[in-house]
Structure 1
Amino acid sequence: MEFQYENSYEVKEKITSSSIAILPVGAVEAHGPHLPLGTDNLLAERVAQRVADKVEAFVLPTLPYGQVWSLRHFPGSINVSNESLISIIVDIGESLYRQGFRTFAMVNGHLGNQPALKDAARVLFTSCPNMKVFYFFYPGMNQAAKEVRETDSAHATYFHACEIETSYMLYLAPEFVDMSKAIKDIPQIPEDADVTPTPWEVFTESAVLGDATLATMEKGQYIIDIAISNMVHMLTNKEAK
């Protein structure tokens, strides 16, 4: 169910029946030559829609801007601060709570958003004590990716416009992928990049962290379906309590 297409006269009863709101959270940033700037938005909203179908939840309009400090100097990237993200998510969550929602799930398509989403969830824990808040980022993907990837990860945490994320797009939004432009670019990320602010232009010109040419729809389906199953499990377990 898409929340923005409901009307005020009928939505109250539907909220009472569902009580779950899902917010896709993405970003606008460089994703190499073969993926669009809005890749994270597309992934977040299409995963959110699939989860919502399984748990009979409302999908809110996508929050399309994220914290992309690391890529802010690349053409097309639009950065917002953690403070801005926290503020708007708390406002959205408190509005949902007043409307009667008791489960608020953020489906995040951009790793850089996670600190802000976590902090927003902590604020809502206090201000909305009867609402369960989730901040999902492909739960279970790390093990699943290890099982299907053909190249080593360029970084223990980051994945970007590479074999993995391009596979996600081939599964969820193939019409926006141009595999004829996919490249292999495995950068040497400095060891201090995890402990000091490091703009990505220091180690990559393409914003690709891996071999995108190895991406397939099947790899994306395997990982994404596991992540969706995990999200559904947590949401339905919560509702059963």
Structure 2
Amino acid sequence: MKFQFENSFEVKEKILEKLVAILPIGAVEAHGPHLPLGTDNLLAERLSEKLAERVNAFVLPTLPYGQVWSLKDFPGSINVSNQSLIRFIVDIGKSLYHQGFKVFVMVNGHLGNSVAMKEAARELYEWNPELKVMYLFYPGTDQVVSEIRETPPSHRSYFHACEIETSYMLYLAPEFVNMKKAISDLPKIPFRADFTPTPWREFTQSAVLGDATLASAEKGEKVIRVALDHMVKLIEQAKEGN
């Protein structure tokens, strides 16, 4: 159920019945020639909607800007700082608690947001530990990803506009994917990139980290199903106070 379409006269009772607010958080950044700039927003929003159906939650309007420092030099990318993102999330969390929500779930569509989301969750915990806060980015999917992947990952911890992310889009938002323009780009990411600021322009001109031509909706569905199962379990535990 989408929160923004409720009205003030009826929403309070629904909040007290649901208790869970889901905030999709994405980004606007380059995703190769076959995916739109708002890929991370679409993934976070569509995934949040599926999650809300299973846990009887409200879906908040998507927070559409993220920390995209690594890709800020690519055409179309819009970057906000971690500090800005933290402040936005903390303010939203406090407002949600004031309105009666007990569980605040952030569904992340962009790995670069993770640091800010974790820090915001910690700040909210220090403010009031009664508000259960979660930051979720495809939890528990390492094994299924390794099973469906046909090419080795370009990096051990992140993926981008590749076989994996394009598969997510083909399952969750296929109308925004142009597979005729999908490419294979397997850049060599320098070891130092994990330890010092390294703009992606130094190792890729496409922003694609893998073979997007191998993507399929079937692969995306397998991973998303696993992620949703883990998300549901975590939220149900939080609702029970665990």
The 8 Å contact of residues 21 and 105 in structure 1, kept in 2 or not, is answered as yes
CA distance in 2, matches of 1:97, 1:10: 18
1:229 has 2:238 as partner? no
Give the TM-score normalised by structure 1.
Answer: 0.99
CA distance in 2, matches of 1:128, 1:166: 38
Q: Mapping of 1:35-54 within 5 angstroms?
A: 35-54=35-54
- Which consecutive segments of 4 or more residues in structure 1 shift more than 6 A? none
1:31 has 2:31 as partner? yes
In structure 1, the partner of 2:83 is 83
Letter in 2 for 1:193: A
CA distance in 2, matches of 1:101, 1:240: 14
My pick for the range that moved more, 37-46 or 142-151, is: 142-151
Give the TM-score normalised by structure 2.
Answer: 0.99
Aligned residue pairs: how many? 241
CA distance in 1, matches of 2:25, 2:142: 20
1:144 has 2:120 as partner? no
- Secondary structure, aligned partner of 1:8: coil
CA distance in 2, matches of 1:86, 1:11: 27
1:169 has 2:141 as partner? no
Q: What is the root-mean-square deviation in Å for CA atoms of aligned residues? A: 0.6
CA distance in 2, matches of 1:202, 1:85: 26
The alpha carbon displacement at 1:142 in A equals 1.7
CA distance in 1, matches of 2:224, 2:179: 20
In structure 1, the partner of 2:209 is 209
Q: Deviations over 1:128-172 (max 9, x none)?
A: 221100000000122211010000000001100000000000000
- The answer for unaligned runs of 5 or more in structure 2 is none
- Secondary structure, aligned partner of 1:167: helix
CA distance in 1, matches of 2:160, 2:132: 30
CA distance in 1, matches of 2:42, 2:229: 19
1:112 has 2:112 as partner? yes
Letter in 2 for 1:171: Y
Identity of aligned residues (%): 66
Letter in 2 for 1:158: Y
Q: Deviations over 1:16-61 (max 9, x none)?
A: 1111000000000000000000000000000000000000000000
- Secondary structure, aligned partner of 2:61: coil
- Secondary structure, aligned partner of 2:156: coil
- The answer for unaligned runs of 5 or more in structure 1 is none
Letter in 2 for 1:227: A
In structure 2, the partner of 1:18 is 18
In structure 2, the partner of 1:67 is 67
Q: Deviations over 1:197-238 (max 9, x none)?
A: 000000000000000000000000000110011000110122
The alpha carbon displacement at 1:240 in A equals 2.7
In structure 1, the partner of 2:240 is 240
